[in-house]
Structure 1
Amino acid sequence: MAVPIKAGIEKMPGGLMLVPMLVGAVVHTAAPDSGEFFGSFTGALYTGLPAILAVFYVCLGATLDVKATPYIAKKGGVLLGSKVVFAMLVGVVLGRLLGESPVSGGAFAGLSTLAVVAALNDTNGGLYMSLMAQFGRKRDVGAYSVMSLESGPFLTMVTLGVAGLSAFPWQTLVGAILPLVLGMLLGNLDPAMRRFLAPAVPAIVPFLGLSLGLTLNLTAVWEAGLLGIGLGLFVVLVGGAVLLLADKASGGDGVAGLAAATTAGNAVVVPSIVAAANPVYAPAAESATVLIASSVVVTSILCPLITALWARRILKEPSAADGVGDPADDGDRPSSTPHHVPGQTPAAAAQHDGS
């Protein structure tokens, strides 16, 4: 008798990342020395996160097509640039107030510049494309091929440096983006390599989650509860407002901007990478990881609701239950069939965000 494990996990927003991460966190909290006890390949899951991430970013890079149309490049560039600039401004403010260390006590205990910047800097790609397929225009779906460049720790490291905090050697910055660039070269030079590497993206996601969870203590998760919800609300409401205005200023209708106001599951691994690259961020890494995981869930739930309300009220789009098209449709609205980024397999597109 078949057991629908995968379908059950995917019912949770970001489930393929978050459920294995929770399992790993439970194991690490209950038996923190189990990695050393078993050793060998089992023990390697406790310490092998960087290697798994390197493979993940090579495979992910292979799905990105550099031959984006001018419209896609413009739309994606506006959304990507808006997110990065907003994260930098927030980073500058928090950097002046908090520095590299997390808040040590009170209601904001555990909050850090690292947590907020990393939560703002990576978009849930699968959710974005799903929302655009339902409420946006066909060509807007492809904008994520440009926005995918935010994946990984590179932009977070740059943002922290711009904010005047402890910077990173240029070798570290190059090393953070090199696997993604290598994958892009392979995928764009040889379509066969893209077809070969792209299907591995969703399969690696659960292993990222498990390996990351094996570094977390659930005591910290409990303590970060309300603060994590607050971070998610900040990303989807304040960040969403910035992206909406940027989208409309560039000639868009605001739907794409709101659909991009999320935190990707991939962002959960960024604090540990940043801390490994620069130990000054180590005290903030664990609490930042927990806060970002909360933001992933909160934004995954709220972003679709807000995007749908905007589409119904401003664009006169029907709700999912209406099933009726808008008479004023401009002909560029998507059909009910999901679309994906040019050059990506549907599976890779859906799972890029760690969901």
Structure 2
Amino acid sequence: MKILKTIQKVPGGLMVVPLFLGAIVNLVFPQFLDLGGMTTATFKSGASAFIGASLMCVGSQITVTRVGEPLKRGAVLLIAKFLAGFVPTVIANMIWGPAGVLGITPLMLLAAVTNSNGGMYLGLMTNFGDENDLGAQSLLGINDGPFLTLLGLGLAGVTSFDWKSLLASVVPLIVGIILGNLDKDIRKFLQPGIMFTLPFLAFCLGTGLNLRNIVTGGAIGIVLGVLVVVLTGIFTITADKLILRRPGYAGAAICTTAGNAVAVPAIIAEASPNLAYQVESATAAVATAVIVTAILCPIVTSLMAKKFGCPKLEREALANQDVKG
């Protein structure tokens, strides 16, 4: 049976599919999750441990020694991606408060917009970009996790944080960054852990969800996903074109929500318990946004590349000239 390959065909499948399976098990066989011991630790209460392991593995892949053009492109897009989530969150919080409007809360907005799908970006840049676009992911990887979301919520005034709890939330990421940059063998060793931990983490999060809320979150999540693409595009494509003087396809390629963002509301609740009541709805909505953005982002990126150009089209044009010549 091709179970893994089937799951991988779903956008963000390694995160989204186990999440929904966890919710189904919690509804149908809740007693299984309460057997205790390693069963409960692995399938219900182990979310924090899996989150920590995942963040450490992610951190190990962030290279701090990259310089030059990749660094410049990565820095501009990273800042633009953060502002795409932060600025609308500040505005939404000022007008509607932490409860948000039409089911979209500042927590959902910042969690979904400030995280981008690194695998999607690399895949699109392999098709449309050049080596400098690919190298920019070394900085863009910083947004793959809770750090920027935590920082943004605090700065936006949505919540106040116990800085000790905030530090505790990002220590695994920092440890991973240090180890990965000290020893490339450690970086290589930890790389598979990013994908390996995701299904376990997602299943544990799913066991804390109510299926009725997932249905509601699905409707809200579709709207959230469209907002992610629109808001991100306004900031990142504009920055790509005006600041980097590039065609804009790279800015379009980060108009996504990362699969890891599904875990961000739960992480935030640990650092800021006053938002704990929003975790369930935010998790469901962000999970849906992962799928929606994964569908829309390649379309937007392709349109930008065709309209304003990209290295791939330039290479193809040169190849056609050589053939004609």
- Give the TM-score taking structure 1 as reference length: 0.85
Return 5+ residue gaps in structure 2 as ranges. 321-325
Which residue, out of 86, 91, 95, partners 2:89? 91
What's the CA shift for 1:115? 0.4
Q: Does 1:150 align with 2:147?
A: no
How far apart, in 1, do the equivalents of 2:201 and 2:184 lie?
26
Q: Does 1:49 align with 2:43?
A: no
* Correspondences of 1:11-22 after superposition (within 5 Å): 11-22=9-20
Q: Identity of aligned pairs, percent?
A: 39
Kindly indicate whether the alpha-carbon contact (under 8 Å) linking 1:98 and 1:113 is maintained by their aligned counterparts in 2. Answer: no
What's the CA shift for 1:328? 9.0
RMSD (CA atoms) = 1.9
What's the CA shift for 1:141? 1.0
How far apart, in 1, do the equivalents of 2:4 and 2:310 lie?
36
Aligned to 1:353: none
Q: Does 1:300 align with 2:294?
A: yes
Q: Does 1:122 align with 2:119?
A: no
* Correspondences of 1:55-74 after superposition (within 5 Å): 55-74=53-72
How far apart, in 2, do the equivalents of 1:224 and 1:56 lie?
25
Which residue, out of 224, 243, 253, partners 2:217? 224
Aligned to 2:178: 185
Which residue, out of 152, 156, 159, partners 1:159? 152
Aligned to 1:23: 21
* Correspondences of 1:191-202 after superposition (within 5 Å): 191-202=184-195
How far apart, in 2, do the equivalents of 1:102 and 1:32 lie?
32
Kindly indicate whether the alpha-carbon contact (under 8 Å) linking 1:57 and 1:179 is maintained by their aligned counterparts in 2. Answer: yes
Aligned to 2:246: 252
Aligned to 2:317: 326
What's the CA shift for 1:222? 1.0
- Give the TM-score taking structure 2 as reference length: 0.92
How far apart, in 2, do the equivalents of 1:238 and 1:70 lie?
28
- SS of the equivalent of 2:157 reads coil
If each structure's helix is expressed as a fraction of its own residues, which one has the higher value? 2
Q: Name the aligned partner's letter for residue 308 of structure 1.
A: S
Aligned to 2:323: none
What's the CA shift for 1:99? 2.3
Aligned to 2:281: 287
Return 5+ residue gaps in structure 1 as ranges. 330-355
Number of residues of Structure 1 aligned to a counterpart in Structure 2:
317
Kindly indicate whether the alpha-carbon contact (under 8 Å) linking 2:84 and 2:236 is maintained by their aligned counterparts in 1. Answer: no
Kindly indicate whether the alpha-carbon contact (under 8 Å) linking 1:56 and 1:204 is maintained by their aligned counterparts in 2. Answer: yes
Q: Does 1:309 align with 2:303?
A: yes
Kindly indicate whether the alpha-carbon contact (under 8 Å) linking 2:108 and 2:285 is maintained by their aligned counterparts in 1. Answer: yes
